[in-house]
């Protein structure tokens, strides 16, 4: 089997797919890309059994066929070429591969393509169309808040709830929570599922503004856009009742510039305890005082910012890392922080930067203050 392909075009597709390949695969063949040629079109597949991604590219081929090629050595080789045609000659009996460029020849060993896991197919599925920028925005706003606890796998992904009124994306790790809704994305049939972190990261890195088809059933979800298809296994389990932890009555409302608050917290948090990362908000009148201290090293910092505030004077503690994460991802120049009591969660809402039909709520749990 022989085919000719452009080195730059091939590298571009393989770099998209490379994010799927795991560093500790259970099956050695998963360290390879599967190349499948049919009618001068080549589909390339990467898989880690949980997530499978396919991309397609035009080639000149003398016959149809398939082979798996080691991913690492192929990408490293392609990175060194300038834009040029490469000829691949595959021995279909020994699975040996010879690559010819303008400069020389390179030989490597492939594996039998029949041993590569089959791409999953979705039975009894439903589907909906999403705009690429809408999905990218939803992933950016939520994914950072998902957890990494292997004992609570349901929290390690993004919960997606589709209905005839709106679509809701939720992520939480029990310390912070983000709920992102779009009233301009609706489906005929109600559905909910938990999408894993890895495929969402890959989607985020590869989508543009084109429409995305999302297909889903009880066990899998499929995203297709451009020349890319991604199939992932959904996280099994029941997502926690996130609405129950969002406090409804928050009489104390603070309005402030995002950038000013973020810069201040970054500076003050340098002096916070390295284990708790605790910072203290003390708000009275139109002034917010942010303090931190690390008694072990006699470190202490304090800053004062002007803000708009309605409510009773109050003092509340937060983990600075969580607040910084939220402010980095909120995408607004001005925010409102709503609070009810020092032992109840604080809610951060964007006051601008939202598209029509978009709504974002971020929640951060307080830290007990040691007086």
Q: Quick: pLDDT tens for 205-216.
A: 999 888 999 999
- Flag whether pLDDT at 260 surpasses 80: yes
**Stated pTM of the model:** 0.92
User: Which domains are seen in the chain, by residue range?
Assistant: 2-115 (3.10.150.10), 126-243 (3.10.150.10), 247-367 (3.10.150.10)
Neighbour tally for 185: CB within 10 Å: 22
The Cα diameter of the chain in Å comes to 80
pLDDT band at 369 (very low <50, low <70, confident <90, very high): confident
CA-wise closest residue to 122 among 234, 35, 205: 234
pLDDT band at 371 (very low <50, low <70, confident <90, very high): low
Q: Quick: pLDDT tens for 43-59.
A: 999 999 999 999 999 99
CA-wise closest residue to 43 among 233, 224, 232, 234: 224
Q: Which residues have a Cβ under 8 Å from the Cβ of 326 and sit 6 or more positions away?
A: 145, 176, 178, 348, 362, 364
Average pLDDT over residues 90-105: 96
Q: Quick: pLDDT tens for 166-180.
A: 999 999 999 999 999
Q: Quick: pLDDT tens for 107-135.
A: 999 999 999 999 999 999 999 999 999 99
Q: Quick: pLDDT tens for 25-83.
A: 889 999 999 999 999 999 999 999 999 999 999 999 989 999 999 999 999 999 999 99
pLDDT band at 282 (very low <50, low <70, confident <90, very high): very high
Cβ atoms of residues 194 and 162 within 8 Å: no
Mean pLDDT of the chain: 96
CA-wise closest residue to 70 among 36, 16, 110, 106: 110
Average pLDDT over residues 351-367: 95
Q: Quick: pLDDT tens for 202-250.
A: 999 999 888 999 999 999 999 999 999 999 999 999 999 999 999 999 9
């Amino acid at each position: 089997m022989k085919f000719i392909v452009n080195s730059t075009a091939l590298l571009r597709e393989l770099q998209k797919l490379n994010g799927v390949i795991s560093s500790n695969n259970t099956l050695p063949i998963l360290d390879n890309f599967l190349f499948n040629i049919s009618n001068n079109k080549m589909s390339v597949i990467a898989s880690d059994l949980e997530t499978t991604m396919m991309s397609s590219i035009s080639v000149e081929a003398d016959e149809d066929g398939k082979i798996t090629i080691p991913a690492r050595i192929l990408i490293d080789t392609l990175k060194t070429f300038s834009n040029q045609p490469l000829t691949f000659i595959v021995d279909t009996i020994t699975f040996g591969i010879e690559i010819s460029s303008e400069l020389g020849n390179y030989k490597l060993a492939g594996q039998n393509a029949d041993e590569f896991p089959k791409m999953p197919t979705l039975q009894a599925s439903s589907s909906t169309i999403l705009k690429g920028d809408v999905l990218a925005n939803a992933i950016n706003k939520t994914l950072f808040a998902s957890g990494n606890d292997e004992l609570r796998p349901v929290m390690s992904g993004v919960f997606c709830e589709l209905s005839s009124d709106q679509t809701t994306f939720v992520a939480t790790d029990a310390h912070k929570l983000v709920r992102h809704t779009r009233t301009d994305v609706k489906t005929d049939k109600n559905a909910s599922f938990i999408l894993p972190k890895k495929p969402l990261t890959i989607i985020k890195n590869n989508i543009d503004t084109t429409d995305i088809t999302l297909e889903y059933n009880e066990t899998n979800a499929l995203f297709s856009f451009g020349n890319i298809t991604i199939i992932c296994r959904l996280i099994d389990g029941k997502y926690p009742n996130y609405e129950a932890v969002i406090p409804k009555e928050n009489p104390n409302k603070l309005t402030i510039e995002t950038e000013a608050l973020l810069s201040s917290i970054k500076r003050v948090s340098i002096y916070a305890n390295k284990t708790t990362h605790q910072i203290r908000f003390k708000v009275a009148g139109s002034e917010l005082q942010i303090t931190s201290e690390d008694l072990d090293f006699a470190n202490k910092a304090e800053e004062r910012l002007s803000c708009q505030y309605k409510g009773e004077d109050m003092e509340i503690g937060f983990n600075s890392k969580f607040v910084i994460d939220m402010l980095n991802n909120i995408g607004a120049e001005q925010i409102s922080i709503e609070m009810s009591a020092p032992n109840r969660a604080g809610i951060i809402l964007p006051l601008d930067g939202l598209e029509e039909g978009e709504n974002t709520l971020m929640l951060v749990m307080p830290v007990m203050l040691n007086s």
